[in-house]
Structures are given as structure tokens and as C-alpha cells.
Amino acid sequence: MAEHDIQTSPFSSPEGADKILVKDLDFYYGDFQALTDINVSIKQGAVTAFIGPSGCGKSTFLRCFNRMNDLILGTKADGLVTLDGQDIYAPGVDPVDLRRRIGMIFQQPNPFPMSIYDNVAFGPRLHGVKSKAKLDEIVESSLEKANLWKEVKDILDRNGLALSGGQQQRLCIARVLAVRPEVLLMDEPCSAIDPTSVQKIEDLMAEIKDEVTIIIVTHNMQQAARVSDYTAFFLQEVAGEPAELVEYDRTANLFTSPSDKRTEDYITGRFG
Amino acid sequence: MNKNLTNSLAMAFLWIAAGTTVAVLFAVIAYVVVNGIMVITPEFIFTWPEGVNAEGGVWPTIVSTLYVTGLAMLIVTPIAILAAVYLAEYAVQGRLVNIIRFAADSLASVPSIVMGLFGLALFVETMGIGFSMLSAALALSFLMLPIVMRTTEEAIRSVPKYIRWGAYGLGASKWQTVSRSVLPAATPRIVTGIILATGRAVGETAVVIYTMGQAINLPLTPFDSGRPMTVHLYLLAMDGINLPAAYGTALLLMIMILAFNLGARYFLRRNRKV
Ligand SMILES: Nc1ncnc2c1ncn2[C@@H]1O[C@H](COP(=O)(O)OP(=O)(O)O)[C@@H](O)[C@H]1O
Ligand SMILES: [Mg+2]
């Protein structure tokens, strides 16, 4: 497998190694180009937020990291995306293995129609863990990390769909954490759930980010400001034209002194 | 005025149509119940018919019916599910798949007596299985296969996208995604399809009359012949041998089919609610 050495990251920072690097990425749905010329470096052990008006390609970009877009017919990613320096689009990279290293949470909580226990054990079983004791341990620690253990420890055999929406979302987080991913992609994970669960999810993000590099898409700017260390602002200026990455910086800088006029307009609520 | 009149007329016709449907249904049920209810006793259910007039019970015919239906279900279920998974998930959607679907739908509308004749020719005679539970179950499975396959295909297609994403997102391969998350999610509707097809098989006469034989017999192996309830009912009534027993058998059959349909509804509901 070809290793690409990229030293010229425009946003290299001293305290975080680059976990993911994106260089000159264009993305297409058939003839429609959704993203153009994206360059970004995602820092290990940090939370990175993607913000921007809806339809500007945040989800599309997120799905480039675990090659979920491969499941959509006629899509094409042009450019370089590396995980720990390794090109994830290189021939010979199996997207199935990649997705084990890069977990994903969706806007709509999507527990499987099976017990809470089986939901969390799904991934480990998939990857060959058979021992009951080991599975018990993984289930408990994953639910712990997802801030859900206390609520469900006595009802592990109940169907995951019987939980509230916010609990379902935390169950999905536990399910992903159970395969011990290196990166966690979260696509608007809090837009369909209750405030208590939102709080719990924001708390757990802070707790796990040392182990799991997190990228979160949100259109709640207060949330981006609260939870993230870095923020990227995307914008599609003209309908039908591809979206671009307008500004990427430490969250504190981007929200207090944006360097691009369009970023300022967006965060002060002038459009979007 | 004119508008109101049209409206009232339309309403009247709708009421008459709906009323007729309900009335016919009730008439049939009431007729069978009134004539059959006195006949059904534990002895009637659990003893053998005796003598030329088939006095006594219907036990071997109940066993034959359940035997052949169960066997047909065992044959149909794996084939139908594999075929449906292939059609819904793996086959390149296009002409060939549409032809397969059309063939399945056509198969479902072949008159059952034709299927019985075919079963007689193929299983009983050509393959030499003889009049038996197995011949009848194979012929019945032709009848059930398209129903179960199509309902399973619909069930698989209606599993929400995000269930699949959940599995793919955990590093599941396509087969793992289908077998471990899509199929479990589709199971309630698949089971409903199987139960409905089974209910249809319980009431089937034309297919089994040509393939199972008519001898009153308690089947043990799949190669034993027997007489299912429907054929028993047909023979009793046609030759006017024993009308009360015919009504008793008819009522038992209706109860069994009703139980299957209620079972399907119950199963679907319980799994919807979770
Ligand atoms: N499966 C798809 N096929 C074709 N176009 C798509 C698909 N998904 C998204 N798009 C288009 O790509 C653009 C970006 O969408 P998306 O990534 O969902 O934006 P966001 O997540 O920022 O709201 C939109 O114009 C959208 O219509
Ligand atoms: Mg989106």
C-alpha cells in the first residue's frame, strides 16, 4: 500500500498529531460536484466540528472518511484522504476494515431491532469475539462510556427500540464504541433528541476524546462552540455549484475572530 | 340539491355493497357453525372414522393436514428466503429480475388444480415418490413459494436504510449486514407471510387430492399416504355419506385457518409494539 507523506499541512499544530489528512478533495454524485478542493487536517485526540448551512456537503464530506459514500451508486472521491498517513482510497484498502476503525453515528438513532445487549455486542461478535465473559465486559464498559449504563443495566435484554430517542442514540454510541474505533464520526447526533440526552452526549464526548478522535457535524453553533477544539466552516455559495471549506481554525479563534467575512456573517446569523 | 341527491345515492350504494359483503361472510360462517358445532366433540377430533359411513372422528385427517402443511413450510421457507434475499439485495436490478418477479406472480395465479396435476405427473409418477406426504408437500410448496418469496422480498425492501448503515458503519460486510441486521429487522413480516401462505395450504384441496391419496391413514414417514381434512370433507359431502361429519370437518378447518390468520396478526402486532 502506498504511504503518502504529507508534511505541508496548512494547519499543523504542535499539540495534536494529524489523525486524518485531506488534500485537494473533490467529490461527485454522478455529474453533480458536491465538494471542491477541500484541504483539512484532523487532530488526534481532539473534537472537530463541521458547521455550515444545510446542503453544503457536511454529511457528504463526513462519509468520505469511512467510505460510506461507496454504498451510493455513481459517487466519486478525487483527491487524497489519509488515516495515520495511509491513503484510504488506495487500491487494496478494504472499506469494511476501514469502517471498523472509523465508527459513525447518524442523525436518526438506528438501533437494531434486538436486545440492548445484542445491539452493543453486535460489532464485537461480527469481529469474532465469542466469550460470554469478554462480551459482558465490553457491553458494560461501552454502555458506561456512552453514559447509558446506569439507565439500562437491569434491562439489558429489553429491545433497544423500547428506549427513548435520546437513549437510543446513546445506545448507538455504545454500539460503535464497542468495536474500539480510532475515529468517531457524528452526523448531527443531537438534532432529534431530548436535552438531557444532549447534555449526556456532550459530556461523554469530552470524556472519550483522548481515546477517540471525534468529528461532529452540527448546525447548532452553540454546541460547536461548547464541544469542539477545532471548527471547519463549509459553504456552498451558488446553488448547483460545489461547496468549499471556507475557514478552518481553533474553535476559539474561529468564533471570536473569524478571518473570512463569510464565516463572520454565518456565525453572527446573517445567513444560513 | 342535485349534488346532495348524488351524494345520498352514492352513500346508499356503498352501504349496500359493504352490507352485502358482511352479510355473505356471516351467512357462510353461521351456516357452517350451526351445522357443525354439535358435531365437534373431543371424540370427533381424536378418534378415527369407522365403517362405510365414516362414523366417528377425523383424527387421521387432521394429522395428515398438519403433517403435509408443516412439511411444505419446511421446504418453502429456506428456498423462498434465499431467493428473496438474492432478488432484493444481490441481483442486478433490471430485466432479468423483473422477469423472475413476473414469473413468481404468474406462478401464484396458476389454478391449484393444475398444480395438483403437475404434482401428480412429476412427483407421484415420474419421480416415483407415489401418493405421499412428500409428493403433496412438494406440490403445495409450488403454491406457497411465490407468496412467501414476494412477501419476504417486500419485507427486506422495507427495512429502513439506516438499519443497514448501522451495520455497515460497524465494519460489517454485505452478507453480515444482510444476515445479521436486515433479516432480523424483516423477520416479523417474513413470518407473517409464511403464516398466511400456510393458512392457504391448510385449506387447499385440489393440489393434495392428486398427490396425497385418499386412504385414511395416520402418516408417520414422509412417504406415507393419507387423507387431508379438505379431501375428507369433499368425499363425505359429494357422496352424501355423512353430512354432519362434513360440517364438523368444515368448521374445524375454518377454525384452523382463522387461528393461522389471527396468529399472523398477533405476531405482527407484538413485534411492531416491541
Ligand atoms: N445520495 C445523494 N445523491 C445525490 N446528491 C446528494 C446525495 N446526498 C446529498 N446530495 C447532495 O449533495 C449536497 C450536499 O448534501 P449533504 O452532504 O447532505 O449536506 P449537509 O449534510 O451539509 O446538509 C446537496 O446538494 C445534496 O442535495
Ligand atoms: Mg447532513
Domain count, chain B: 1
Instruction: Select from A97, A112, A176 the Cβ nearest to the Cβ of B185.
Output: A112
User: Percent of chain B at pLDDT above 70?
Assistant: 99
Handedness of CA B27, B31, B34, B38 (dihedral sign): negative
C-alpha cell at B76: 418453502
Chain A interface residues facing chain B, Cβ-Cβ under 8 Å? 66, 68, 71, 96-101, 103-104, 106, 108, 110-114, 122-123, 126-127, 159, 161-162, 172, 175-176, 179
Residues in the ligand 1 pocket, defined by CB under 6 Å? A 29, 32, 34, 52, 54-60, 72
pLDDT band at B86 (very low <50, low <70, confident <90, very high): very high
How far the first Cα of chain B sits from its last, in Å, is 51
pLDDT at A272: 47
Q: How far is the CA of A61 from the centre of ligand 1 (A)?
A: 9
d(CA A107, nearest CA chain B) in Å: 10
Indicate which CATH number applies to the domain containing B161: 1.10.3720.10
Q: What is the DSSP letter of B92?
A: P
Domain membership of residue B130 (yes or no) is yes
Average pLDDT over residues B229-252: 90
Size of the A and B interface in Cβ pairs below 8 Å: 67
What are the structural domains, with CATH classification, of chain A? Answer: 18-267 (3.40.50.300)
Between residues B2 and B171, which one has the greater pLDDT? B171
pLDDT digits (tens, 9 = 90+) for B170-182: 999 999 999 999 9
Between residues B250 and B269, which one has the greater pLDDT? B250
pLDDT at A14: 43
Q: To probe the interface with A, which of B89, B158, B168, B174 has the most A CB atoms within 10 Å?
A: B168
pLDDT at B202: 92
pLDDT digits (tens, 9 = 90+) for B4-21: 888 899 999 999 999 999
Torsion of CA A178, A180, A182, A187, to 10 degrees: 0
User: Percent of chain A at pLDDT above 90?
Assistant: 89
Average pLDDT over residues B208-212: 94
DSSP string, B56-77: E--HHHHHHHHHHHHHHHHHHH
Domain membership of residue B226 (yes or no) is yes
Across A96-105, B43-52, B61-70, B261-270, least confident range: B261-270
Question: Cα–Cα distance between A82 and A99 in angstroms, integer?
Answer: 14
Which residues does chain B have within 8 Å of residue A113's beta carbon, measured at their own beta carbons?
Answer: 163, 184-185, 271, 274
CB contact under 8 A, A123 and B171: yes
d(CA B229, nearest CA chain A) in Å: 39
User: Percent of chain B at pLDDT above 90?
Assistant: 70
pLDDT band at B220 (very low <50, low <70, confident <90, very high): very high
Question: Cα–Cα distance between A83 and B20 in angstroms, integer?
Answer: 70
Question: Cα–Cα distance between A212 and A80 in angstroms, integer?
Answer: 22
Mean pLDDT of all residues belonging to chain A:
92
With a cut of 50, which residues of chain A have pLDDT below it?
1-14, 272
pLDDT at A15: 53
Could you list the residue range(s) of the whole structural domain that residue B256 is in?
Answer: 42-273
d(CA A261, nearest CA chain B) in Å: 37
pLDDT at A271: 56
Domain membership of residue B20 (yes or no) is no
pLDDT band at B37 (very low <50, low <70, confident <90, very high): very high
Domain membership of residue B8 (yes or no) is no
Mean pLDDT of all residues belonging to chain B:
91
Q: Is A188 left (phi over 0), alpha (psi -120 to 50) or beta?
A: left
